[in-house]
Amino acid sequence: MTVRIVTDSACDLRGSEVAELGIEVVPLSIRFGDDEYTDREQLSVEEFYRLLAESDALPETAAPSPGQFAAAFQRQLDGGATAIVCINLSAAISATMQSAITAATEIDADIRVVDSESLTAGLGSIVLGAARMAADGASADEIVAAAHSMSERTHVFGALDTLDNLKKGGRIGGAQAMLGSMLSIKPILDLSSGEVEEAGKQRTRKKSLAWMRDNLASFGEIENLAVMHGEAPDVDDFMALLAEVTDVEDVRVDKIGAVIGTHGGPRVMGYAFQVPA
């Protein structure tokens, strides 16, 4: 059996990673006003943050169509796959899962669609784990079971640096955003369930990143730590903080893409990891 892995662009994996492991990434789309872009194909991460800074309105994201997933599945089947495991962005925050399910039901093949119940590096780490198992010859049943296990053990946290995107998205009013900015409030989000929950608020960036360090330490032993950020200039400082509580030598460090960056905003700082089984 040859199992291939498909995911979506909210995984925030590097091109080199997906190429090495033969992962197919189905892109979401990003719309700035009348201009629509295919994530990571027509719009790089760097270009996204430039447009985000220039835009008065929050960009909109759209799930891939079932047709996009169907085409991806067919490419993998034509390439020799006997089974496909498609691991996607949390169904609680996107219609991406539903598009993948719809596509899978239209194709007469062994296609398993898995809700990662995660996003960005959390989703990415689950996908990488599945792809490595596939490369080692694991069955679809084994990969799906492992993906579900990793999902249950995955934690994702993010510290926002600005309230602008919450204001643009209508999550908070202008007066509340202005007051929060005056008080230098930095919300911290827990995305571990695949939904957005508030984990706390800190005054100042320094305190919010220190909270993130202490939160990581509270979990004790962890696996597959990845740090993600929205063009944050102080990512090296954050890594130094994390080095006080864990080994950061092999930590994946990369940028949050447009799908999640739309809501996290510029300079968002986050991490994802699993607790051991």
| 40-86 tens-digit pLDDT | 999 999 999 999 999 888 899 999 999 999 999 999 999 999 999 99
| CATH 3.40.50.10170 domain residues, the chain | 3-153
- Residue range 115-147, pLDDT digits in tens: 999 999 999 999 999 999 999 999 999 999 999
Third-level CATH fold of 154-274:
Hypothetical Protein Tm841; Chain: A;domain 3 (3.30.1180)
Domain made up of 3-153: CATH architecture = 3-Layer(aba) Sandwich (3.40)
| CATH 3.30.1180.10 domain residues, the chain | 154-274
Which band of pLDDT confidence, cut at 50, 70 and 90, is reported for residue 198?
Answer: confident
Long-range interactions of 163-170: CB distance < 8 A, separation 24+: 163/187, 164/265, 165/58, 165/262, 165/263, 165/264, 165/265, 166/265, 168/56, 168/57, 168/58, 169/58, 169/263
Q: What is the mean pLDDT of residues 214-234?
A: 97
Q: What is the mean pLDDT of residues 208-219?
A: 98
C-alpha of 20 from chain center: 19
